[in-house]
Chains A and B, each alone.
Chain A
Amino acid sequence: MMKVVPTVEGGLRIEVGTATDWLVLEQIAPDALKMEKESLPSRLSALMDEASEWDEMVVPELSDLFHSQLHCVQKIVQGARKASEEDPSLGHLFISQEDGPSWYGALNQARIALEGYYRFGPAQEIEEVESFPPPKRSAFIRSQFYSALQSVLLEHVIE
């Protein structure tokens, strides 16, 4: 089981117990890119009028920002996994206070994409979840995990 512990430096330490835990962490970025055809910056832009030229002026900047969040998370997870393979006593990763907003943003992107793609909500009834086909059920469980990690980030890392 994964354990998430606040650090004295104001970040988080995630103790990763199994290969499945690593897979879940590695899944954050691919999950976030699940709705790439209907990207988050474009969906936000749809809320603006044409006169704002949001698509030309803001969407590229938002795309860069959101991709940089995913890149940050991917790099940390890959680095930590590699270190743990070389030395199994290092089965953990750190989220520094500085990286907290990127982690939060990446997890948010993943949840937005999963909920849009599989069309479930955060407060789904347990009976309904049990009837989901396996890919949707595991996506829902990942989404719940991402949400829980976001709550810990909000409580201990993000000011």
Chain B
Amino acid sequence: MNPLEATSATTLTDEETKASTELASAWNILVFDDPVNLMEYVTKVLQKVFAYPREQAEDLMLTIHTAGKALVWTGAREPAELYVQQLHGFQLQASLEKAGS
């Protein structure tokens, strides 16, 4: 192992370690039902943001509508935040939660 790498690894602060662990763990994107967004619109947004096929986007939309929310994507925190930003741009109520929490 490169001694420099070993040194830098040991000097990571607790905060940095926590941050990198959080980035590496899986995060869920949840979309919530709301009384305003039209069902067809929600389907189109899910297709646009995640490139989901029509059928999958429609299934998710129906889960949102009937169950009040749906898990629409799981993955690393960084891309998840970008997806949520896009969903908010389309005025959908979306949030992030750590997978398994």
User: B residues within 8 A CB of A72?
Assistant: none
Q: Is B44 touching A122 in the complex (CB atoms < 8 A)?
A: no
Give chain B nearest CB distance to A158 CB in angstroms: 7
Chain B positions 10-44 with a Cβ under 8 Å from a chain A Cβ:
22, 32, 35-38, 40-41, 44
User: A residues within 8 A CB of B38?
Assistant: 147, 150-151, 154
Say whether A40 faces chain B, with CB atoms less than 8 Å apart.
yes
Q: Assuming the A-B contacts A40-B91, A41-B88, A58-B85, are A108 and B44 also in contact, with contact meaning beta carbons closer than 8 angstroms in the complex?
A: no
User: B residues within 8 A CB of A158?
Assistant: 41, 44
CA distance A133 to B43 in the complex (A): 35
Q: Is B81 touching A47 in the complex (CB atoms < 8 A)?
A: no
Q: Is A48 touching B84 in the complex (CB atoms < 8 A)?
A: yes
Question: What's the interface size class on B, roughly?
Answer: 20 to 34
- A44, A48, A51, A122: which contacts B35 (Cβ < 8 A)? A122
CA distance A112 to B93 in the complex (A): 12
Task: Please give the number of chain A residues whose Cβ is less than 8 angstroms from any Cβ of chain B in the complex.
Answer: 28
Q: Is A115 touching B81 in the complex (CB atoms < 8 A)?
A: no
Q: Is B93 touching A122 in the complex (CB atoms < 8 A)?
A: no
* Binary B-proximity of A121-159 (CB < 8 A = 1, otherwise 0): 110000000000000000000000001001100100011
Q: Which residues of B contact A (CB under 8 A)?
A: 22, 32, 35-38, 40-41, 44, 81, 84-85, 88-91, 93-96
